[in-house]
Amino acid sequence: MNSLTRLFSPIQIGSVELKNRLVMAPMATGWANHDGTISEKLSSYLEARARGGVGLIITEVATVDGNYPYVPATVGLWDDKQIPGIRKLTDVIHSHGAKIIPQISHPGPESVSLLFGDTQPVGPSQMLCHSNKQNCRELTVEEIETIVGQFAEAARRAREGGYDGLELHAAHSYMLLGSFISPLRNRRTDTYGGSIEGRLKLPLQVIERIRAKVGNDFPIFLRISGDELYAGGRDIRETQYIAPILARAGISAFDISAGSYPQMSWRIVPPSGTPFGINTPYSRAVKEVVDIPVMAVGRINEPRFAEDILARSEADLIGMGRALLADPELPNKAMEGKFDDIAPCTGCGVGCSRAQQDERNITCVINPAVGRESKLQLNTTPTPKRVLIIGAGPGGLETARVAALRGHQVILCDKQNKVGGQLNLASVPPMKQELAKWVQYLQIQIKKAGVDLRLNTEVTPDNIDQFKPDVVVIATGGEAFVPGFAVAGGKSLPTAHDVLAGNVTIQAGNVIVLGGGVVGCEVADFLANRGDNQLIGRTDVTIITGKEEVGLKLVREIRAMTMQRLREKGVHIINKAKVIAILEDGVRIQRNGQQEDITGADAIILARGVKSVDKLSLAIRDKVSEVYVIGDAKEPREAMEAIAEGSKVARDI
């Protein structure tokens, strides 16, 4: 019996009733057309979440001035020509019983305007814009008045386009309104700065002008940091003071986040390992001082936990972003009590946050269909085949799941005694345990789909005929790369994989980790301890890397936290160093043209990446007509590529 009575109860926001308390939080995609209109790709992506049962969708930033885009392909509300496309989108969303509002903003310091001409980003004060590495100039009072009018006109277009309200972005000392509110970025000495009232002047003017343009029956959400969590920034006490002022001015609901940009960027998009419901202390504090609905966001990716937040009166609405990337059907599945069928968000940031940072299309490790909802449909095959999948890592599991759902007869073999492949190791380091949810989810799904799982079963060229496959998918993954170092005494060195798997136990002492990539940083984090807890003992770790910096492939938010922990644990990093030889108790390196011996090590661990394991594809091509190689077996990468390739292969079979 479903006990999510609060989560799936309706709620009134001003004049608009939502069918439930689940809100899709705004996430930038960059999928608008280049004139700011809504593209088919963006519409299909949002429609999938509306069809999935969410009560309200808050779209990504829609900019009020076309000269100041937020992303290269930014959504716009600066031109009446954009209204017909908006109307088409809102009609589609409404047809599924959901409501939709845009998050409107002037990007201000975060504008990428200089990429498209000579227009310089603007803000409350002259400053360096960390997101685009540009200087922004201080707005004049006359320019501020113009921007206030642009916000009002954008609100009018939103209403005429059929949106059910709007959200103003004033959080994280970010974009124009957020930077005006925050003392971290507002250094003005005129009436728009200095005091709390001065910093509030612009958002209050914007709210007043919007209300004059669209009336009082058009809900206005305000996204704001409950606490900026940085010295000199706004704290929760000040937020409690200004929240009633903003509510009286015409705000209909608050969207409470936390952190400031760039100082506390990991708190804005909190990654795996951070507390669930990380911002609920702030949403609860705001809820204590206002009588309008308050939404909590940040690390709420499980519906039963969301219900608990509502039950504890920590919020009235639940904002989910990345969880709805992972599974757009999360609301419907939760309402039906199908919790095991919800594709889990782990907060990894690999497909979403890092993609934005790398200026690539966002996706999701566990859901390759993000942004391709209309193309990646699961269609039943007219010609069922016998499909043998070798390797039950993430790629093999996803291939098995999709192929079985399409109607193929699927056999999944792995020579190990459990599924998961390298995810079993990836979930061991600190703050990474949530990755195990992918393994658990996929194992449940292949069982429900009828996959014939055979563990402790090694497939070879000699025994493959007994499986009688029409198709073979090789997903045998990778293994630790062992470089050809000259090792004193001819001994072999343990790998990071050995340590994380528990095959090699490292006692307290001095440890050298060779390699400063993701795995090198994670195994150092796993082992290092200052020894304050005498039951654990002291382990001093030194990372040696040839790169200028370590952990560069970590998601930005996760890297910030990882590096902080490494510093706190006293991990020593030697960069730009080439390892020449392995000594009895250390290594010989070369850097800056000089040789140097690093000695006194009790253990030396190899963390030099992964090499592909594929011993079958060439050997069986004369036995099986259809052979595919995916994931690390094809080329060492990440779980995201393995799952995406497995999903594609299973759809192509």
Catalytic residues: 174
Q: What span, in angstroms and rounded, lies between the C-alpha atoms of 416 and 456?
A: 5
H or E element: which one contains 11?
strand 11-13
Q: Name the 3-class secondary structure at 532.
A: coil
The secondary structure of 362-391 as a DSSP string is: ---SS-TTTT-TTT---PPPSS--EEEEE-
Instruction: Measure the CA–CA gap between 344 and 365, rounded to whole angstroms.
Output: 10
Backbone angles phi, psi at 339, to 5 degrees: -70, -35
Residue carrying the six token digits 């209050």: 204
Contact criterion met (CB below 8 Å) for 46 and 100: yes
Q: Is 31 helix (H, G, I), strand (E, B) or coil?
A: coil
C-beta separation of 391 from 633 below 8 A: yes
What are the phi and psi torsion angles at 78 (to 5°)? -105, -5
Residue 167 host element (H or E): strand 166-169
Per-residue H/E/C for 256-306: EECCCCCCCHHHHCCCCCCCCCCCHHHHHHHHCCCCCCEEECCCCCCHHHH
Distance CA 390, CA 307 (A): 40
- 512 near 544, Cβ under 8 Å? yes
Are 470 and 388 a contacting pair, CB within 8 Å? no
What is the Cα 266 distance to its own chain's centre? 11
How would you classify the pairing of strands 56-63 and 22-24?
A: parallel
What sign for the dihedral angle of Cα 70, 71, 72, 76?
negative
Cβ neighbours for 159, distance < 8 A, ≥ 6 positions apart: 214, 218
Contact 31, 39 (CB under 8 A): yes
**11 and 316 Cβ atoms separated by less than 8 Å:** yes
Q: How far apart are CA 314 and CA 295, in angstroms?
A: 9
Question: Distances in Å between the alpha carbon of 340 and those of 127, 334, 648?
Answer: 48, 9, 23
Could you tell me if 23 and 58 are in contact, meaning their C-beta atoms sit under 8 angstroms apart?
yes
Pick from 535, 533, 526, 544: nearest CA to 598:
544
